[in-house]
Homo-oligomer: A and B are copies of this chain.
Amino acid sequence: MATHKLDEIDRKILAELQEDGRMTNVELARRVGISAPPCLRRVRALEEDGYISGYHARVNIRALGFEVQVFAMVGLTSQAEADLSRFENRCRAWPLVRECHMLNGEVDFILKCVAPDLSTFQTFLTEELTAAENVASVKTSLVIRGAKDAPGVPFDVLEERLARSA
């Protein structure tokens, strides 16, 4: 599943769909410089091969009443694979946890959480997260404001890199 299976048109398609996932196929085809049918075939292939794993509308979290965003750094007592997996499954089941990444270093996981208000989050934090089996420590930081939230990958960096190795 290397990048090398993708040509410049494929990468352009990915870049365009990353920016606007609802673009019509004819508009996409126009932008990447081919006609619509082959463009659609490429998109289907990119989806099939896992280069595109889904399309999502980005919703306004605050406008929907989720006033609180929190990053939580979680340390576990046991880092045995079974225990790591168990914690990951817990995270997948908690709706307030939107992202969970396993890290190297002192902290084992970083979680991005949302909540309607602080008290809802506090309840989750004390009754669910810190109370969960195998959780040793949780350090939380409130998001004061968001400064950047770009999707996925910087395709210009990718292109530069490919140009250099060519």
Contacts and interface: CB of A to CB of B under 8 A. Distances in A.
B147 A109 contact: yes
Interface residues of A, number: 68
Interface in A118-162: 141-154, 156-158, 161
Number of copies: 2
Given A103-B144, A144-B104, A156 B95 contact: yes
B51 A59 contact: yes
A34 B54 CA distance: 25
Contact of A59 (B14, B61, B149): B14
Contact of A141 (B110, B146, B152): B110
Contacts of A99: 146, 148-150
Contacts of A56: 17-21, 55-56, 58, 151-152
